[in-house]
A and B are shown apart, each in its own frame.
Chain A
Amino acid sequence: LAKTTQPISMDSYEGQEVNITCSHNNIATNDYITWYQQFPSQGPRFIIQGCKTKVTNEVASLFIPADRKSSTLSLPRVSLSDTAVYYCLVGDQRRGSTLGRLYFGRGTQLTVWP
């Protein structure tokens, strides 16, 4: 079970780029890294997923170094509405090892200030 470690909280200001790093030292070869966002009283929402190098979509980028022992979620030009909890999950659901990706941990509380 790949355990993840994230900062408990981060603060930023509107318009800045925010980078949240997740450590996963015992990630397995076929594990994917997935990030979710959660607003108060709502279910988590999928942001981005990757296996290696870099993935980018319309809301975020995910950077994964060659050793894959960590990953960084990058949010460009954050706004007040990006204030939320961000979770990093690691696992491979396709066959066999499904459990890692099911455990969300405490996540990182990102607060964006005006």
Chain B
Amino acid sequence: DSGVTQTPKHLITATGQRVTLRCSPRSGDLSVYWYQQSLDQGLQFLIQYYNGEERAKGNILERFSAQQFPDLHSELNLSSLELGDSALYFCASSVDGTHKYNSPLHFGNGTRLTVT
């Protein structure tokens, strides 16, 4: 158990709809990352938050947005969904900050999104 909790585990919705994926990081971790994994694209980095602020942005579509709340949990909002958005969405967390070492990422078990 990585200590990272993602809900829901599965989500089925229709094209054009909007969904929210939730992530609770490991206790003590300040950074949250979102990844998308589909069969043809591999594991794609979307966005990173550190202590409530956006720190890095990857290949995140404009239809997608995320935020990290004061209690450090994070939500990924996906809107105007398309068939191609069907994928596994992973959240990861790490300590980060000004440590002398590179703290590894700890991943949740993902949310499987199916857009029909």
Contacts and interface: CB of A to CB of B under 8 A. Distances in A.
B22 to A, nearest CB: 15
A102 B57 CA distance: 10
Interface in A24-48: 32, 34, 36, 38, 41-46
A106 B56 CA distance: 21
A102 B102 contact: no
A45 B4 CA distance: 12
A84 B102 CA distance: 24
A46 B95 CA distance: 14
Of B42, B98, B102, most A-chain CB atoms within 10 Å:
B102
Interface residues of B, number: 30
B5 to A, nearest CB: 11
B96 to A, nearest CB: 6
Given A95-B98, A102-B56, A45 B107 contact: yes
Contact of A104 (B45, B55, B94, B104): B45
B106 A41 contact: no
Interface of A: 32, 34, 36, 38, 41-46, 49, 87, 91-95, 98-99, 101-107
Interface of B: 2, 4, 33, 35, 42-43, 45, 48, 55-56, 58, 88, 90, 92, 94, 96, 98-110, 112
